[in-house]
Chains A and B, each alone.
Chain A
Amino acid sequence: MVFLPDESRSLPPPPLVNKGSVWLGLTGWIAALLDNGFNHRPIIRAGVHRQILFTTVGWFVGYYLAKRTEYVHAKVDRELFEYVRQHPEDFKAAGI
């Protein structure tokens, strides 16, 4: 299973600030803050390099996940519309 098939590149790429990146970046940051807490360090003032690294990794992974999400949704939409196109009798609007 390919993570991002070639046809996914025909889709518009997600912006650099996208839901996946923001959410996973946030989880990375919270993980760094939790690490500080568990090791009895000041929560936000300590390990800024760690906070930046964890946030960056989350942002990075979030971008690729967002791309794959867009691809999967587009694929399902394509199959759905193709089915509707091939079975017009099942999708007659009411009253026509």
Chain B
Amino acid sequence: MAAALRAAKGLRLAVGPPNLGERQQGLALPFTRSAFVAKRRNHDQPNWFGVGLAFSTSAALWALLFKQHNEDVMEYERRKEERQHKCTGCS
């Protein structure tokens, strides 16, 4: 079976440009051009830009979270004081 497949592959490679049929006009070129290019990814070097972006985003998010939490605590304490002030009156 392998030999037959190899023979068939040989036959396929020997064929020239694809057969368009009588209806279609124009040249059938053996190659086509495309705007899309694929690059083989090389993972030997770390993606330092991505790593830096990930760490800086994490640091920014933690900073924002700490800031938000502190602001929330201050606002809660302030409103608690305000409520006591209102309820008990100016003592």
Contacts and interface: CB of A to CB of B under 8 A. Distances in A.
B65 A59 contact: yes
B61 A60 contact: yes
A56 B69 contact: no
A53 B61 CA distance: 9
B79 interface: yes
Nearest to A21: B65
B55 A9 contact: no
A63 interface: yes
Main SS at interface, chain A: helix
Contacts of B83: 10
A52 B58 contact: yes
Nearest to B83: A10
Interface stretch (B15-23, B25-33, B70-78): B70-78
B76 A11 contact: yes
Place the interface of chain A in its size category.
10 to 19
Q: Which of B62, B64, B83 has the most CB of A within 10 A?
A: B62
Interface string A39-76: 00000000001101100110110010001000000000
B54 A52 contact: yes
Contacts of A16: 65-66, 69
A95 interface: no
B54 A53 contact: yes
Nearest to B50: A49
A37 interface: no
Given A12-B76, A52-B55, A63-B65, 6 more contacts: A9-B75, A9-B79, A10-B79, A13-B73, A52-B58, A53-B54
